Amino acid sequence: MATRRFSPLDRVLGRIDGLDSQNLAILARRLERERDLMETVLDTLREGVIVLAADGSIDYANSAAVRLLGVSSEAVTGAELRRLSPDIAQALALPVEAEAVNREIEVRYPEPRVLRLHLAKVGGVHDSDRARSVAVLSDITAERVQTESRVESERIDSIVALAAGVAHEVGNPLNAIGIHLQLLRREAEKLGDTPAAQKVRQAAEVCQSEITRLDGIVREFLGAIRPSPPHLLDTDVVAVVAEAMNLLQDQFKQLGVRVSVDVASEVPLISADRNQIKQALFNVLKNSLEAMDRGGDIFITISSDDDWVVLAVKDTGVGIPADKLTRVFDAYYTTKESGGGLGMLILLKILRAHGGTVDIQSTPQVGTTVTLRFPLKHRRVRTLDAPRA
């Protein structure tokens, strides 16, 4: 049990029965100063502190707790916590036998957050008038996001390393086969123009063309999963969008897909690798096209706020079911009948290398919206490292 610390005020309180009205007034002012000091100290804390009465009403909340609850300080004292934040109130429901609890919770209001909660019972155990619960709330949203990003980057690193190893191992036998085909063609030349020799040469040519094709696929694959670090220059996102759309112009016409672009009045330049951003946008537009069998619309909006340039691509395609939406960034996972399932993984790698983010919202038979956020130059204090192959 912790040792209680006595202050000079405790000695005064011990003689309170013998105080006259003047000394009582002095004591009241001292108590008020002590209270103000304690509240000032608590208001300097980054953690939210909430004191709850036995009936669940709030006796006290410091400034950090008021911000976490998303209400005014005047509306806190005496209010029922379950009315202000049902998520926190539910998490604070302690079993009768429990004296304290530590847990992490997610709240939805006033904005989605992850909180670490410590709750302890204080005051009289058998006296409900004195019984209180003290909750200490720490906002660990940024910590959770950083942890998840680090784990995701490590997962992508391992996948890319595996993929690069497999591609390398495929390339070696292809080279060996190519060398032996050359030897085979030389031997066929020695046989002259006999029908058997001609057949061997034709078969060798077919094999060589297929080897060339497979070798090109492997090289493109390695280049995709191991993009070089971004060469950052001032980049006009609007111009990059126009270039990516031009690459797919013929496919838009063939499929009868209408594309509209809405650009804010002023979109600042970003620090980015133009070619990598074009590849990222090409992957998004290609997915939107493949989500529409015949006809449809793609809406592209480009805007900015104080921190980001925001590029959103919305299509009217088949959409992605909720149970599959969480896996779209997995390597080799695809909802299409054809395709390698690496496009979204590459997209994620490029955005992370630029310190940006990718969000996907989708509703089956309604469509999908992919939102790319690129940091403005003043936000580029630290970017996430691109996963290495």
CB 273 within 8 A of CB 340: no
Count of domains observed in the chain:
3
Last residue of a domain, one of 225, 244, 261: 225
- Out of 41-50, 315-324, 378-387, the most confident range is 41-50
Residue at 352 is within a domain: yes
Q: Letter for the amino acid at 363?
A: T
Determine how many CB atoms are found less than 10 A away from the CB of residue 320.
21
CB 38 within 8 A of CB 63: no
Q: Do residues 18 and 72 share a domain?
A: yes
The DSSP element (H or E) to which 5 belongs, if any, is none
| 58 beta partners | 52
Q: Could you list the residue range(s) of the whole structural domain that residue 342 is in?
A: 233-379
Q: Do residues 357 and 262 share a domain?
A: yes
Closest by CA position to 388, among listed 156, 222, 151, 220: 156
Last residue of a domain, one of 143, 175, 190: 143
What's the chain's average pLDDT?
A: 78
Q: Letter for the amino acid at 250?
A: D
Q: Do residues 203 and 100 share a domain?
A: no
Q: Do residues 163 and 34 share a domain?
A: no
Determine how many CB atoms are found less than 10 A away from the CB of residue 117.
18
Q: Lowest mean pLDDT of 124-133, 330-339, 343-352, name the range.
A: 330-339
pTM (2 decimals)? 0.47
CATH classification of the domain holding 95: 3.30.450.20
DSSP reduced 3-state for 17? helix
Residue at 385 is within a domain: no
CA angle 87, 90, 93 (to 5 degrees): 150
Q: Do residues 268 and 334 share a domain?
A: yes
Ramachandran category for residue 256: left, alpha or beta (phi over 0 → left; psi -120 to 50 → alpha): left
> Percent of the chain at pLDDT above 90?
10
336/102 Cα distance (integer angstroms) = 44
Band (56; pLDDT cuts 50, 70, 90): confident
Closest by CA position to 386, among listed 234, 244, 232, 217: 232
Q: Do residues 138 and 165 share a domain?
A: no
Q: Do residues 158 and 34 share a domain?
A: no
Q: Do residues 314 and 339 share a domain?
A: yes
Q: In what order do the strands lie in the sheet with 48-53?
A: 58-61, 48-53, 132-139, 113-122, 100-107
CATH classification of the domain holding 371: 3.30.565.10
Residue at 387 is within a domain: no
Q: Do residues 184 and 245 share a domain?
A: no
Tell me the pLDDT tens digit for each residue of 191-232. Answer: 788 888 888 888 888 888 888 877 776 776 666 566 577 888
CATH classification of the domain holding 191: 1.10.287
Ramachandran category for residue 301: left, alpha or beta (phi over 0 → left; psi -120 to 50 → alpha): beta
Q: Lowest mean pLDDT of 52-61, 172-181, 240-249, 340-349, name the range.
A: 340-349
Q: Letter for the amino acid at 354?
A: H
Tell me the pLDDT tens digit for each residue of 121-179. Answer: 877 656 666 778 888 898 888 887 777 777 766 766 776 677 677 777 777 788 888 88
Closest by CA position to 356, among listed 323, 336, 377, 384: 384
DSSP reduced 3-state for 260? strand
Find the DSSP H helices in the chain.
8-14, 21-43, 63-69, 81-84, 86-91, 141-190, 195-225, 237-247, 249-255, 274-290, 322-325, 343-353
Tokens matching residue 317: 């395609």
Q: Please report, to the nearest 10 degrees, the dihedral formed by the alpha carbons of residues 262, 267, 270, 274 taken in order.
A: 40
CB 268 within 8 A of CB 376: yes
Q: Cis peptide leading into 387, omega within 30 of 0?
A: no
C-alpha dihedral sign at 247, 252, 254, 255: positive
Q: Do residues 282 and 201 share a domain?
A: no
385/11 Cα distance (integer angstroms) = 60
Characterize the bridge pairing of strands 257-263 and 296-304: parallel
Last residue of a domain, one of 200, 225, 250: 225
Tokens matching residue 94: 């302690």
Tell me the pLDDT tens digit for each residue of 229-257. Answer: 788 899 999 999 999 898 888 888 888 89
Residue at 1 is within a domain: no
Q: Do residues 94 and 154 share a domain?
A: no
